[in-house]
Amino acid sequence: MEQILNAAFIGCGAIAQKKHLPISKADCHIHIKMLYDRNIRAAEYCKTEFGSKDTVIAKDVEEIFASSTIDLVFIGTPNSTHAKYAVSALESGKHVICEKPMAVSSEEAKRMLLASQKYKKMLHISYQNRYTKQAQYAKRLFEEGVISDIYYAKAYALRRRALPTWGACLDQNIQGGGPLIDIGSHSIDLALWLSGCERLCYAAGMTYRQIAKRGSRANLWGEWDVDEISIEDSAFGFVMMENGMTLSVETAYALNTDKELEASVDLFGADAGIVLRETEGIRLIHETGGRMCVTSDKLDETRRSLTPRGHVMTPAEAEHEAFMKWLLEGKVYDPGVEQAFMTVQIVEGIYRSAMQKEPVYFS
């Protein structure tokens, strides 16, 4: 008999509807057992669209934590709630799949880490950009020694005018910040994961609200209320690692730039450098035969014409397959959570540095 995990979903908004619920519904190892959202209509919609006859809409989150039938909890709620929901779920003996960012502070993130270790339940932070073809291939190049000893890295998440205007996205108290903690955390995570850095030294940076306080009719999701927005529209930082590697961070929802970049990194080592872009292939910059070479690979085109394509998984589907494989094998620790914690530290450090106008050192 195949193992089936009963899953509960806390938060039935866009991230659940477009990502976790449809993928879970298609997974024969997951049974969508419980749903909760403060907006009862969202929960009812998700039950109709993704649930089954015995799917229950919980009256509150405590009903999920108290249930002895739930094995796995997906958390897709505002950033400021991640820690309290994750810790409660872990304490009640459930595995947790939590949307990024891990938390809005390193103190909260540490509580999540410690709860996962204490109760021996998996805590996975959903950074699906690790599972793009570009990122997976780049990781393979590192593992095979083609690239090593990264000493400088750049993490990009830049938009011209694509500031989210729905829900609590503009509220600093609920989301913890703007592009740095949101789209920026994806790029920071990629840089840490690929470079293999393990310890931080200090961070410095600045945040800006130059466009946020003016408003914009050109914004992708419509104009925002300049009196209501409390997040930054852009943030830039510099991070020093204990091993000497430096990382520059560039993030923006609104920036007068000619090039938009998301989930993108540049990594520079002595033997080679690599350029990874979200929507393109990768470029390897290296020296061969006394000449400088740029080797490009458009991964979608790297296949024999007679090879059946089959189902090409999205990064979110590949991520789901990975953590489900770990769970079904009985693993209770995801090593990626350590870098998710470091990402929280970096984001927090840049925000604190911007407020204090001085570098922030990590203990």
Percent of the chain with pLDDT over 90: 91
CA distance 252 to 224: 16
Tell me: pLDDT of 1 over 70.
no
Distance CA(20)–CA(128), nearest Å, equals 11
* Cα 237 from Cα 111, distance rounded (Å): 26
The mean pLDDT value of the chain amounts to 95
Contact 177, 344 (CB under 8 A): no
Q: What is the pLDDT of residues 261-314, one digit of tens each?
A: 999 999 999 999 999 998 778 999 999 999 999 998 776 655 555 555 566 789
Q: Does domain 130-314+343-361 have CATH number 3.30.360.10?
A: yes
pLDDT attached to residue 312: 76
Question: How many CA atoms lie less than 13 Å away from 273 in the CB half-sphere?
Answer: 13
Sequence spans of domains, the chain = 5-126, 130-314+343-361
> Cβ of 94: how many Cβ atoms within 10 Å?
23
Give the model's pLDDT for residue 180: 98
Residues 6 or more apart whose CB falls under 8 angstroms from that of 259 comprise: 158
How would you classify the pairing of strands 123-126 and 56-57? unpaired
Task: Name which of 32, 1, 4 is nearest 16 in CA terms.
Answer: 32
- How far is it, in rounded angstroms, from Cα 8 to Cα 36? 8
121 vs 153: CA distance, rounded Å = 33
- b/e for 181-196, b at 16 or more Cβ within 10 A? bbbbbbbbbbbbbbbe
Pairwise CA distance, residues 104 & 340, whole Å: 12
Predicted model pTM: 0.95
Stretch 8-29: mean pLDDT: 97
What was the pLDDT predicted at 281? 80
* 228-260 pLDDT, tens digit each: 999 999 999 999 999 999 999 999 999 999 999
What is the band of 198 on the pLDDT scale with cuts at 50, 70, 90? confident
- Find, among 123, 98, 73, 76, the residue nearest to 338 by Cα: 123
Which amino acid type is present at position 159? R
The domain at 5-126 falls in which architecture? 3-Layer(aba) Sandwich (3.40)
- Integer CA distances (angstroms), 18 to 85, 128, 249, 319, 341, in order: 21, 13, 28, 15, 25
Q: Poorest-confidence range of 93-102, 308-317, 346-355?
A: 308-317
For residue 313, count other CB atoms closer than 10 A to its CB.
14
Strands 95-99 and 123-126: parallel
Count other C-beta atoms under 10 Å from residue 13's C-beta. 17
Q: What is the DSSP letter of 93?
A: T
3-class DSSP assignment, residue 109: helix
